[in-house]
Amino acid sequence: MASKSTPQSKSPEYSAQHIQVLEGLEPVRKRPGMYIGSTDVTGLHESLREIIDNAVDEALAGYAKNVWTILNKNGSATVIDDGRGIPVDIMPAYKKSALEIVMTKLHAGGKFGGSAYKVSGGLHGVGASVVNALSEWVWVEVRRGSKLYRQEYSRGLTKGPVKEVAETKLETKVFDKKAPNGTTVTFYPDSQIFQTLEFDFEIVKKALRERAYLIPSIYFHLLDYRNETPKETHYFFEGGIKSLVEKINENKGPLHKTIFIKKMEGDVEVEVALQFNDGFAENVESYVNVINTINGGTHLTGFRMALTRAVNDYGKKIGSFKEEEDSIVGDDTREGLTAVVFIKMPQDRIQFEGQTKGKLGNSEIQPLTQQIVKEGLNTFFEENPSEARRILEKVYLAAKARLAAKAAKDAILRKGALEGSSLPGKLADCQEKKPELSELYLVEGDSAAGTAKSGRDRKFQAILPIGGKILNTERARLDKIIEHEELKNLIIALGMGIGETVNFEKLRYHRIIIMTDADVDGEHIETLLLTFIYRHLPEVIKQGFLYIAQPPLYKIAHGKDVKYAYSDDEKDNIIKEINSGKKNSFVINIQRYKGLGEMNADQLWETTMNPTNRILKQVAIDDAEEADATFTMLMGDEVPPRKHFIQSNAKTATLDI
């Protein structure tokens, strides 16, 4: 439950003197991508996240208990917090209010002065002013000392001074007007900047859920009033990242209770939660403040080193690892590992590698994280010997599988074959050697593959037949995977290796296209291939190199005129168009394609492989947590979750009878 005390009382000295200005706002509208990454749907939601994270900063500092995010009927978005409220007093150096400076000057805010925010979540620390610059209009209301102040803006420029007002402009009042101090920001994205102006409820919900796990002391409220029936979601996780790990491991057979480690060292706080399950996939997330470091960094490296060393030390201590060669390596601890590594540190000390802020670069964080995690694991192992032994058994089995996989690889393949020096006989390779110009079709069945080989453009299109149902890699170790003929051929054809030998730079094709029949069997094979690539070669998906071909469902012939339809709606529209024409003397012949083999080479090229005409569906991971849970549910060992999914979705299934 939330405390009834007013958190604002902790710091009565948050005022204009805490605001520091570094530079003006002019560059933002000229190069918006430099500040929010892009101007597409991703950049649009990054703008909202920046405002949300300003509110989250108040919670990280201990002054707010709630953050409300509202998607308004008119397309604007509102973010409200019950923190201290942005200062409205005058900054003598600028003869303007602190609120106006924060909203109209780049790199102006409490997180730069060094005293108002020790820890900050903003991605760039420029959220308010950047979003203001990229919005058609913005208004901000500040509640301080039982008074309500407002200022309005247009494309980064003020429309007037800060004024004390009697009532809020907010259409939907989420709390009483006598509520404690805080800030309300409402903005309408600029159509001159963004390609789309529509916020996605699910994307916003995911961002809030992620932050709710990271900051267990705050309530997040999402309200969507854009439709006749309002939607709302509320998040509060008392367990923090411990709850997140347990959520990810749902239905995965956890082997022990969640290990939770938390320690403050100077001005850096390290927080780690981890739990092994009886599966084979790894799921590790890392954060700095509320920034998701998707490419890891020094904090993640420190965590991995500590885990490997702690397991080895304990194994030797109790006699499980007698010889040096019995020791496990880092990769052995990844099998079935679910973990979250969360660092909180002063914003002005964070060093990121690359402009996307996806990788932490602070060298001092690695030994600090390693020390804290190692100490925490040592304590857990000593206090929980039976659970420690289960972890040892898990990583020891992984080590045996690693050695078995190496032996299998050496036995099955001639020297260097897995790395691509000896391509599989089934592969009809392309003439092009540049990966960025080459594409590989994974085609269901030898018959369809033969048609594809005849119809392809040999210069840049390679064909690899996939014969029948392949191995379900959700339930298989690496040694079994590389023994499986179809998967072995695929690994060799791709050229990037697998497991500890993987090297993404050796990938031979930058378009990998799954092409299966439009029936249940085809969809099953497609799912098995997706499972393999997602679990063992995820970088292929992350880099945007995986696609699914969209062969037509119907051939519609009317006299000499032939058209192809890729959906039932498209078929109906084509028939309607023919029937509405003046010349209608020919019978309409409709052929439903059940498989790729029903098309000849020319038809397959024209409809499905010709870059000019074809439709490809790119595979992306918008929500890694949800994708992981879906693969576990559909392809894992636990039957009840899959049964529940089938029962819940049976009515929406399209039966191809």
CA dist 633 and 639 (Å) reads 8
Specify the DSSP class assigned to residue 218: -
Question: Any alpha helices (H) in 215-297, and if so which ranges?
Answer: 241-248
CA dist 385 and 550 (Å) reads 54
CA dist 568 and 576 (Å) reads 12
Of the residues 521, 598, 623, 638, only one is catalytic, namely: 521
Closest CA to 369 of 406, 340, 397: 340
Specify the DSSP class assigned to residue 458: T
Question: How many helices (H) and strands (E) would you count in the chain?
Answer: 20, 26
Closest CA to 156 of 183, 125, 135: 135
DSSP sequence for 623-639: -HHHHHHHHHHHHSS-H
| Alpha-carbon distances of 633 from 229, 357, 448, rounded to whole Å | 31, 32, 31
Asked if 390 and 255 count as a contact pair (C-beta separation under 8 A), the reply is yes
CA dist 429 and 208 (Å) reads 46
Q: Which residue has the tokens 């060094």?
A: 114
pLDDT at site 638: 67
Q: Is 521 a catalytic residue?
A: yes
CA dist 478 and 471 (Å) reads 11
Element (H, E) at 269: strand 268-276
Asked if 295 and 285 count as a contact pair (C-beta separation under 8 A), the reply is no
CA dist 569 and 560 (Å) reads 23
Element (H, E) at 333: none
pLDDT at site 124: 39
Q: What's at 81, amino acid-wise?
A: D
Element (H, E) at 472: none
Closest CA to 54 of 119, 122, 110, 4: 122
| Alpha-carbon distances of 577 from 565, 567, 568, 586, 590, rounded to whole Å | 13, 15, 14, 14, 14
DSSP sequence for 488-503: HHHHHHH-S--GGG--
Asked if 477 and 280 count as a contact pair (C-beta separation under 8 A), the reply is yes
Of the residues 198, 519, 602, 656, only one is catalytic, namely: 519
Of the residues 517, 526, 606, 628, only one is catalytic, namely: 517
Q: What's at 68, amino acid-wise?
A: W
Dihedral sign for Cα atoms in the order 517, 520, 523, 525: negative
Measured in whole angstroms, how far is the alpha carbon of residue 428 from the centre of its chain?
A: 35
CA dist 490 and 422 (Å) reads 12
pLDDT at site 6: 38
Specify the DSSP class assigned to residue 301: H
CA dist 190 and 620 (Å) reads 27
| Tokens of residue 147, six digits | 């008074």
Sorted by sequence, the CB contacts under 8 Å of residue 648 that are 6+ apart come out as none
pLDDT at site 59: 82
**Backbone torsion region of residue 109, taken as left when φ is above 0, otherwise alpha when ψ lies between -120 and 50, otherwise beta:** left
Residues of the chain with pLDDT under 50: 1-11, 22, 112-116, 122-125, 413-417, 420-421
pLDDT at site 123: 42
Closest CA to 464 of 535, 516, 532, 528: 516
Asked if 104 and 111 count as a contact pair (C-beta separation under 8 A), the reply is no
pLDDT at site 4: 37
Asked if 519 and 656 count as a contact pair (C-beta separation under 8 A), the reply is yes
CA dist 590 and 554 (Å) reads 7
Q: What are phi and psi of 351, to 5 degrees?
A: -120, 120
Sorted by sequence, the CB contacts under 8 Å of residue 95 that are 6+ apart come out as none
Query: 646, exposed or middle or buried, with CB in 10 Å at 0-12, 13-18, 19+?
Result: exposed
Give CB contacts under 8 A, 24+ apart, made by 429-436.
Answer: 429/462, 429/493, 430/458, 430/459, 430/460, 430/461, 430/462, 431/458, 431/459, 431/460, 432/459, 432/460, 435/507, 435/508, 435/509, 435/510, 436/510
Of the residues 444, 479, 606, 628, only one is catalytic, namely: 444
CA dist 503 and 418 (Å) reads 12
Measured in whole angstroms, how far is the alpha carbon of residue 618 from the centre of its chain?
A: 15
CA dist 503 and 593 (Å) reads 39
| Alpha-carbon distances of 6 from 85, 99, 115, 154, 238, rounded to whole Å | 13, 22, 21, 33, 20
pLDDT at site 482: 81
Closest CA to 446 of 329, 597, 572, 581: 597
- The percent of the chain in helix, strand and coil, each rounded to the nearest 5, is 40, 20, 40
Asked if 223 and 232 count as a contact pair (C-beta separation under 8 A), the reply is yes
Asked if 85 and 144 count as a contact pair (C-beta separation under 8 A), the reply is yes
pLDDT at site 656: 55
The structural domains of the chain, ordered by start, are 7-235 (3.30.565.10), 241-409 (3.30.230.10), 417-551 (3.40.50.670), 554-592 (no CATH)
CA dist 28 and 18 (Å) reads 24
Sorted by sequence, the CB contacts under 8 Å of residue 242 that are 6+ apart come out as 258, 260, 273
Q: What is the pTM of this model?
A: 0.67
pLDDT at site 647: 66
Sorted by sequence, the CB contacts under 8 Å of residue 544 that are 6+ apart come out as 618, 620
